[in-house]
Structure 1
Amino acid sequence: MDDASRPDQDSLPGPGSVTWEHFAAAPGVFLAGTGLMLQVAHPVVGAGVLDHSEFKDRPWKRAWETHLSTMRFVYGLGGGAHAEGRRLLELHKDIKGVDRTGRRYHALNPEAYAWVHLTLARYMVDTAKWFGDPMTDEELEQMWQEFRAIGLALGIKQHHMPPDWASADAYFDEVVRTTLEANQSTTDVLTALTEPKKPIRYLPTPLWKLFAVPAGSLVRLTTVGTLPPVLRKRLGLSWTDRDQHSFDRLATLVRAVHRRAPGPLRYAPLAYGLMLRERLAQRRPARPSEVASTRAA
């Protein structure tokens, strides 16, 4: 997509939008693993990650880079969505090959590229559903239109994104039912999430295990618990009544804490800083030069 066909900066979501209010909600950390699993279960994405990603060997670095990318195209970090779109297209253009079953793949396959974008929208919806206040129908529709604008800025063509949230939600269910699969990447990602590697090489292993073992159990609970049941079954992941009870108790606790938390604790730190910067910029009095320019116009 050329720049002329992309939305201008003013049409992208900003302060007060549904996307800004929901995307970086702090409880989203519990859904990060779910989003990754939904993405790599797509045959094209899974093959690309298996052959070209460093996630398995350097999961912390890869997770941070992904976080920064979303901050760019959602909250305008750096050059914003348009610049990030160009960077992502360049980054993915050479990620291609043949998977283990002989199927050819390319990371810029339009369907797969749009699928990743849809999982990010679903991530917002499910975070609100499980750990906050579910979005209203109006909020869902506004969010999706905002996310379609972001998608256009990232290089996704309009006809590869459903026109409304009802269609997007139905398409999500269809892809889960007919396309997603168990593959080596789903195994690797779940292992990386539930058996996290030390972020610092020289951190004593016994000390790391004091954190890693309970953290891995928690991530497995929230990741497996929020996967679509049909995909959970396809991946061979067990889920018991006891697991469900534990998940429900956790969700109730997180929901209560999040509702009462002060602003800085309700969002991911970097996102909150960017949101605060924009709010302050909107309140800033116009400089004399800006006033003169406006009068001249």
Structure 2
Amino acid sequence: MDHEVAGETQQLPGPESVTWKHFAATPGIFLAGTGLLLQVAHPVVGAGVLEHSDFRRHPWRRAWNTHVSTLRFVYGMGNGAHAEGRRLLELHKQIKGVDRRGRRYHALNPQAYAWVHLTLAKFMVDTAATFGTPMTESELETMWTEFRAIGAALGIKGRHLPATWRQTEELFEKTVRDTLEANQSTTDVLQALTRPTKPSRFLPDPLWWLVATPAGKLVRLTTVGTLPPVLRQRMNLTWTERDQRRLELLARLVREVHRRLPEPLRYAPVAYVIMRRERKRGRTQRRGGHASPQAA
């Protein structure tokens, strides 16, 4: 289904879109923490997560639910972007209050809601730039047109999302500089990322920490290293030239490995299944066969 965005008819992305090509690329796992930190560093989002989310008690469950939600509105899983948009709007209606600094917040604050959407696009762009092939100017603008269409399906008004990617980057930099902060939610997220809790009580502690300790160090490297420097300083996170060299070495290694992987391993599993199904459906339609329209 199409949507009206800033006076133009926009179509949700499909199998041949820039968004589908990049959003679920497997190296994105290295930048997922960065995206989450950018979100909760916004005062409204951070307060909502701190007061209304079960992230501190169940980080794995929260991460999985977020992953499933993005698959719904980006790849049309389940009932697609429209249904997921209605669900998210209903879910966030009651998330409001007064934060620890006495500031009133509401999860449906238009700027904060749009900020979360913007960080998802930035996550995709930065993943490609760091661990793959950077998007061209044309791809960036096409991706953002597609992402604005997704935003419309999620209930974000066109006026709250810049018209071009260049303008979006300017808004990103301004928000980082003037709005984002270190808060209890950023502390909690960093703790969950670098010292993750054991996902199952049946997993022996020694075995878990044997895996979790080096994994936490790796996640800290990729998360702290890809944060905007000004935000990194605001959070009092150390970053050295040695750290930077290690990140660059890791990025080169991931790029080389990822480009050699067979296609099914270059994407998150569920996203790849959806992409393959929709490609097959498209070929059937082009041959004149009958197939139900893509969920949107």
**Shorter chain as normaliser: what TM range?**
over 0.9
One-letter amino acid matched to 1:51? E
State the Cα distance separating 1:284 from its structure 2 match.
2.5
Aligned to 2:233: 233
Cα-to-partner distance string for 1:167-223 (whole Å, 9 max, x where unaligned): 000000000000000000000000001000111112110010010000000000000
CA separation in 2, counterparts of 1:131 and 1:103?
Answer: 38
Which one is further off, 199-208 or 184-193? 199-208
Aligned to 2:277: 277
One-letter amino acid matched to 1:47? A
CA separation in 1, counterparts of 2:269 and 2:81?
Answer: 19
CA separation in 1, counterparts of 2:21 and 2:210?
Answer: 34
CA separation in 1, counterparts of 2:21 and 2:289?
Answer: 33
Does residue 19 (structure 1) correspond to residue 19 (structure 2)? The answer is yes
CA separation in 1, counterparts of 2:172 and 2:273?
Answer: 32
CA separation in 2, counterparts of 1:8 and 1:66?
Answer: 29
CA separation in 2, counterparts of 1:268 and 1:4?
Answer: 27
One-letter amino acid matched to 2:165? W
Matches within 5 A, 1:176-187: 176-187=176-187
State the Cα distance separating 1:272 from its structure 2 match.
0.4
Calculate the aligned-residue CA RMSD, in Å: 2.1
Does residue 38 (structure 1) correspond to residue 38 (structure 2)? The answer is yes
Aligned to 2:255: 255
Unaligned runs of 5+ in 2: 292-296
Does residue 103 (structure 1) correspond to residue 103 (structure 2)? The answer is yes
Aligned to 1:59: 59
Q: Judging by fraction of residues, say which structure has more helix.
A: 1
Identify if the C-alpha distance between structure 1 residues 201 and 163 changes in structure 2 by more than 3 Å, giving closer, same or farther.
same
Aligned to 1:134: 134
Structure 1-normalised TM-score?
0.93
CA separation in 2, counterparts of 1:285 and 1:111?
Answer: 40
Structure 2-normalised TM-score?
0.94
Identify if the C-alpha distance between structure 1 residues 266 and 101 changes in structure 2 by more than 3 Å, giving closer, same or farther.
same
State the Cα distance separating 1:280 from its structure 2 match.
1.3
CA separation in 2, counterparts of 1:136 and 1:8?
Answer: 23
Paired residue secondary structure (2:105): strand
Aligned to 2:294: none
CA separation in 2, counterparts of 1:58 and 1:9?
Answer: 40
Aligned to 1:204: 204
Matches within 5 A, 1:132-171: 132-171=132-171
CA separation in 1, counterparts of 2:285 and 2:174?
Answer: 50
Paired residue secondary structure (2:273): helix
Cα-to-partner distance string for 1:40-83 (whole Å, 9 max, x where unaligned): 00000000000011111101100000000000000000011111
State the Cα distance separating 1:285 from its structure 2 match.
6.1
Identify if the C-alpha distance between structure 1 residues 4 and 251 changes in structure 2 by more than 3 Å, giving closer, same or farther.
closer
Paired residue secondary structure (2:185): helix
One-letter amino acid matched to 2:220? R
Cα-to-partner distance string for 1:126-173 (whole Å, 9 max, x where unaligned): 000000000000000000000000000000000000010000000000
Aligned to 1:267: 267
Task: Tell me if the contact between 2:148 and 2:161 (Cα under 8 Å) persists in the aligned partners.
Answer: yes
Aligned to 2:92: 92
Aligned to 1:295: none
One-letter amino acid matched to 2:155? G
Unaligned runs of 5+ in 1: 292-297
Aligned to 1:217: 217
One-letter amino acid matched to 2:129? K
One-letter amino acid matched to 1:222? T
State the Cα distance separating 1:9 from its structure 2 match.
11
CA separation in 2, counterparts of 1:48 and 1:290?
Answer: 46
